[in-house]
Amino acid sequence: MAQITTLMGETRTKGQVIALDSRKPEQVVSDKQYLKILQLTDLLSRHLDLEDIFKVFSIETGSLVPHNSYRYVSELHKARVKFGKLNRHSLHYHLTIEQMDLGEFTIYRKEPFSTNEVCQFEELLCSLVYPLKNALMYLIAIHSAYKDPLTNINNRAAMDKLLPREVRLAKRHDQRLAMMIMDLDGFKAINDSCGHDAGDRLLKKVAEVVMSRLRDTDMLFRYGGDEFVAALPLTDMQGAIDVADRILVGIKDMDLEGFDGFTEVGMSIGLSMLHAGDDFNRFFIRVDKALYQAKNTGKHKVIVG
């Protein structure tokens, strides 16, 4: 069996199913418990969604070790799952397998946990680690598929998946949503004169500047070439215009040393708010038309559509 570590620092022996109890490090689980672990592992392995995995695990273990809430956190994988209100008494574990950090898992309830419940729950954790590892590996793969390798921001595939959902959510909850499409002014000249490596360096700098002007709740995508798309949830028109203006200032102030004499670039921005009758396509087309107008009426400006 792969090694499993809790915050108490126990190390398991490979080749055995060991009760995860530092007080009895050599105790082998019973055949009945071993079968329960195998069955639960099989059940959990049918899921790749973290919320589903922990929901099933909590339900299946709750009859043996009652608890009314739980929390999972993996800072490494930027993943969080939480259910119920946190209570006074808890069992807290840091899970690792095959040198992979799986994060921290905690269950809570009002009453203290008995020694027998602690031993039982730590045995049942054996069923969680492999399905959890698979789910995290899937999360990593999905994350990679939706990231632009050059700028490390969301790519076109991520935009096609996430933005229509944002539009639906905003309409369902009657919330404000702003969208902007940004296009660099003068990028082709730098790319042609300084080469593609310089063009790539410029795109990275632009992505960093734009990201630094957005909130954590905003979303930025590289739409293609030197075009970027941003979605700003819960933002009114004036707030969106303020963000766009800050982006323009940041782009204008970029240090272009090493770009063959080019001293500055500009950016044209099309901006609009979600309207009541919009679907994603109608919304996007209106913003794109505003961008086209910005490009054709002087550049380095914001046009509201």
Residues with catalytic function? 226
In this structure, what token pair is assigned to residue 287?
Answer: 């913003």
Tell me the Cα Rg of the chain. 26
Pairing of strands 79-83, 69-74: antiparallel
Rounded distance, CA 203 to CA 261, Å? 17
Give the start-end residues of each E strand in the chain: 69-74, 79-83, 89-97, 100-109, 177-185, 219-224, 227-233, 266-273, 302-304
Number of other CB atoms surrounding residue 158 within 10 Å: 20
**Greatest pairwise CA separation for the chain in angstroms:** 77
Contacts of 215 (CB under 8 A, 6+ apart): 232
Asked if residue 302 lies in contact with residue 269, where contact means CB atoms within 8 angstroms, the answer is: yes
Paired strand residues for 222: 228
Burial of 181 (0-12, 13-18, 19+ CB in 10 A): buried
Block residue for tokens 């009002």 = 110
With CA atoms as reference, report the closest residue to 240 among 177, 301, 165, 285: 177
Asked if residue 221 lies in contact with residue 232, where contact means CB atoms within 8 angstroms, the answer is: no
